[in-house]
């Protein structure tokens, strides 16, 4: 691809564009001159329809010629003002990115009074405000629902924001940082140091931590290997580490699934899950309203396994 971004191609494109306009002008003037030189005799093209409807080779009307010339001149004027001649940016230095920024700035100025009322409120206060709740919900649906779902309950690899266990916490400042800067959760692949059989034993032990069916014999080996390879991030008790974004393995919340095969895949191949930063998409005011809406889903509390199980049983 580097062959297509050197200076030559800018000149090449400019030459093709200008040569095309020049050729169009030459064509229409040369044809008019040639047709007028036929000593006043209108040439018959030989095409006949319906017995007596003949196509004659008359010169195009003068008004059409003038319109065509004006279009070519308009094209030249456009290329002087706007990008189109290779690397030449035009005298107005217009870019579509610049136009988008201007439109965004105009929109921000228009809606700024709407957000001004919430500027001095903290996240819990914003979450309790009915108007802020509606705005936050619409911002979430427009910018976050593609991954987390319109009901915010997520799906495989996308966290449940309603009744899930948060890997980083649900405090207002954590939510603001997550939405603004994004997250990149990485679990390293351990295939280089752990074989599939050992990973299966660890999976059995991890399943036992959350009360799932497990092999009593294999969990003995699995616990030993877990302490060697996994406890540094997930903790000796499997409670996780929010500072690292390491999930709690003792609840019944599973981002990818709880089957042995899925857990073994995670251990051997690792996981790399990324939430994109929204600071280039949303304003700081909008981020605060989205954070408040998400915080209000659980009032900032990570839902425990017992609470989730009880809620699902109802």
pLDDT tens digits along 276-291: 999 988 989 999 999 9
Which pLDDT score is estimated for 215?
95
The rounded distance, in Å, linking the Cα atoms of 48 and 254 is 78
The pair of three-digit structure tokens given for residue 238, joined into one six-digit string: 């499997």
The CATH class given to the 186-246+260-271 domain equals mainly alpha
Locus of tokens 């709880």: 258
Q: What angle do CA 130, 134, 136 make, to 5 degrees?
A: 110
Q: What share of the chain is helix, strand, coil (3-state, %, to 5)?
A: 55, 10, 35
Cβ contact 111:135 at 8 Å:
no
Which pLDDT score is estimated for 9?
85
Which pLDDT score is estimated for 52?
82
Which pLDDT score is estimated for 205?
97
b/e burial code for range 207-244 (CB count within 10 A of at least 16 → b):
bbbbeeebbeebbebbbebbeebbeeebbeebebebee
The rounded distance, in Å, linking the Cα atoms of 153 and 308 is 13
Q: For residue 158, give every residue at least 6 positions away whose Cβ sits within 8 Å of its Cβ, in sequence order, or none.
A: 147, 148, 149, 255
Cβ contact 226:202 at 8 Å:
yes
Which pLDDT score is estimated for 306?
42
Phi and psi torsions of 128, nearest 5° = -85, -10
The pair of three-digit structure tokens given for residue 220, joined into one six-digit string: 């003995």
Tens-digit pLDDT profile for residues 121-176:
999 999 999 999 999 999 999 999 999 999 999 999 999 999 877 889 889 999 99
The rounded distance, in Å, linking the Cα atoms of 121 and 56 is 80
Across-strand partners of 273? 185
Same fold, 121-182+276-313 and 186-246+260-271: yes
The pair of three-digit structure tokens given for residue 116, joined into one six-digit string: 């001004």
Measured in whole angstroms, the distance separating CA 163 from the mean position of its chain's CA atoms is 25
The CATH class given to the 121-182+276-313 domain equals mainly alpha
- Mark out the alpha helices in 82-129 (DSSP H runs): 96-116, 123-128
For 68, the enclosing helix (H) or strand (E) is helix 62-81
Which pLDDT score is estimated for 111?
85
Residue ranges in the chain whose pLDDT is less than 50: 1, 305-314
The pair of three-digit structure tokens given for residue 190, joined into one six-digit string: 């351990």
Locus of tokens 């400019």: 14
Report domain extents, the chain: 2-81, 121-182+276-313, 186-246+260-271
């Amino acid at each position: 691809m580097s062959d297509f971004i050197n200076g030559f191609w800018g000149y090449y494109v400019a030459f093709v564009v200008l040569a095309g306009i020049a050729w169009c002008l030459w064509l229409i003037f040369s044809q008019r001159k040639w047709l007028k030189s036929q000593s006043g005799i209108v040439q018959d093209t030989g095409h006949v329809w319906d017995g007596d409807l003949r196509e004659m080779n008359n010169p195009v009307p003068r008004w059409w010629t003038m319109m065509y010339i004006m279009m070519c001149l308009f094209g030249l004027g456009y290329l002087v003002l706007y990008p189109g001649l290779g690397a030449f940016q035009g005298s107005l230095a217009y870019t579509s990115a610049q136009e988008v920024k201007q439109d965004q700035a105009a929109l921000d100025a228009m809606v700024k009074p709407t957000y001004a009322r919430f500027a001095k409120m903290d996240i819990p206060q914003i979450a309790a405000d009915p108007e802020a709740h509606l705005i936050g919900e619409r911002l979430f649906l427009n910018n976050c629902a593609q991954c987390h779902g319109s009901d915010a309950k997520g799906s495989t690899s996308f966290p449940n924001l309603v009744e899930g266990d948060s890997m980083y916490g649900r405090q207002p400042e954590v939510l603001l940082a997550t939405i603004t800067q994004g997250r990149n959760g990485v679990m390293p692949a351990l295939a280089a140091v752990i074989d599939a059989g050992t990973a299966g034993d660890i999976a059995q032990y991890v399943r036992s931590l959350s009360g799932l069916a497990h092999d009593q014999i294999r969990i003995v080996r699995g616990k030993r290997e877990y302490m060697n390879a996994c406890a540094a991030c997930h903790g000796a008790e499997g409670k996780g580490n929010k500072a690292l974004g390491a999930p709690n393995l003792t609840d019944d919340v599973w981002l990818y699934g709880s089957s042995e095969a899925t857990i073994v895949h995670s251990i051997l191949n690792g996981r790399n899950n990324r939430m994109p930063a929204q600071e280039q998409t949303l304003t700081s005011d909008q981020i605060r309203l989205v954070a408040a809406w998400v915080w209000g889903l659980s009032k900032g509390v990570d839902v425990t396994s017992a609470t989730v199980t009880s809620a699902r049983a109802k």
